């Protein structure tokens, strides 16, 4: 019984000590994992990915991706400095690479390590289209969504351990644990993942606008992605919002983003 209360106390202390506020959005977020740990681990993983490559040999495309990345990183740094939140990117060493891969994807690791796959370029089409994706992916890293996801998983696992302890004498233990696993995934993990995507969409619009790119380009990009995608699972089973919701919310956030746009 003592171990149960110790674990409950530890989880409560971690929860209370790990809260911060998302820029612009204002949402309280839970981060139990130090940003410095995420940054250092990401740097190692990024080097492994880049070494495997293969990096694109198209000089013009590679330079365009890097140019967009530098402009958006500069906008992020200016915004955070003005808001007194530069600590959010402490330890970041920006890097932008284009990998020769057909998959339409891009990502930014904690620490500002960005990779674009050549497979996404037919959908971005223009430099502003690249800025849509770049702003979105950099927003994930700046806000610390990676650390937040790890924190939620730690809490989920901690809750599971408590449930194991409290149901050790129950004949319904397996059923209870199964329900907990499904319920926590559908009721917490996946909804938070979708919320992260929507936050990155909103912040990405603002960051690209601050960098001098027209945020209206985001709607066309996501419409092209939606038109090319295969059938997707229902939204409540997905880590991402539906294409329709994403486009609708981008349009709703457009007036806010345009306030930052100075062509």
Indicate whether 212 belongs to any domain.
yes
Q: pTM of the full predicted structure? A: 0.73
Q: How far apart are CA 171 and CA 80, in angstroms?
A: 54
Indicate whether 10 belongs to any domain.
no
Angle between helices 145-166 and 35-52 (to 10 degrees): 110
Residues 6 or more apart whose CB falls under 8 angstroms from that of 263 comprise 212, 214
Q: How far apart are CA 174 and CA 80, in angstroms?
A: 48
Q: What is the pLDDT of residue 197?
A: 85
137 is catalytic: yes
Which of the residues 137, 148, 197, 217 is marked catalytic?
137
Indicate whether 2 belongs to any domain.
no
> Residue 92's domain spans which residues?
15-258
28 in helix, strand or coil? strand
Q: How far apart are CA 191 and CA 77, in angstroms?
A: 29
Indicate whether 87 belongs to any domain.
yes
More confident residue, 17 or 120: 120
pLDDT digits (tens, 9 = 90+) for 213-244: 999 999 999 999 888 765 554 433 344 567 88
Adjacency order of strands within the sheet including 95-99: 95-99, 113-117, 106-109
Report yes or no: 208 and 69 within 8 Å, Cβ to Cβ: no
Indicate whether 4 belongs to any domain.
no
Q: What is the pLDDT of residue 76?
A: 94
pLDDT digits (tens, 9 = 90+) for 73-114: 999 999 999 888 888 888 899 999 999 999 888 888 888 999
The number of distinct structural domains making up the chain is: 1
Taking every pair of Cα atoms in the chain, the longest distance, rounded to a whole number of angstroms, is: 67
């Amino acid at each position: 019984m003592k171990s149960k209360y110790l674990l409950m106390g530890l989880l409560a202390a971690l929860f209370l000590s790990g809260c911060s506020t998302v820029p612009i959005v204002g949402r309280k977020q839970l981060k139990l994992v130090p940003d410095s740990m995420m940054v250092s681990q990401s740097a190692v993983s990024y080097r492994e990915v880049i070494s495997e490559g293969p990096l694109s040999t198209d000089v013009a495309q590679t330079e365009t991706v890097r140019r967009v990345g530098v402009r958006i990183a500069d906008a992020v740094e200016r915004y955070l400095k003005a808001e007194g939140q530069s600590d959010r990117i402490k330890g970041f060493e920006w890097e932008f690479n284009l990998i020769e891969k057909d998959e339409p994807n891009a990502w930014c690791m904690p620490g500002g390590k960005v990779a674009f796959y050549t497979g996404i370029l037919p959908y971005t089409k223009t430099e502003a289209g690249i800025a849509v994706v770049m702003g979105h992916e950099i927003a994930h890293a700046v806000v610390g969504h990676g650390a937040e996801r790890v924190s939620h998983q730690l809490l989920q696992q901690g809750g599971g351990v408590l449930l194991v302890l409290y149901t050790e004498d129950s004949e319904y233990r397996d059923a209870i644990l199964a329900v907990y696993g499904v319920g926590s995934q559908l009721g917490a993990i996946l909804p938070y993942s979708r919320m992260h995507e929507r936050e990155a969409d909103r912040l990405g619009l603002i960051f690209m606008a601050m960098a001098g790119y027209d945020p209206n380009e985001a709607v066309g990009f996501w419409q092209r992605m939606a038109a090319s995608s295969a059938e997707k699972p229902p939204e409540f089973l997905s880590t991402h919002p539906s294409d329709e919701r994403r486009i609708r919310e981008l349009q709703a956030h457009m007036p806010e983003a345009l306030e930052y746009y100075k062509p």
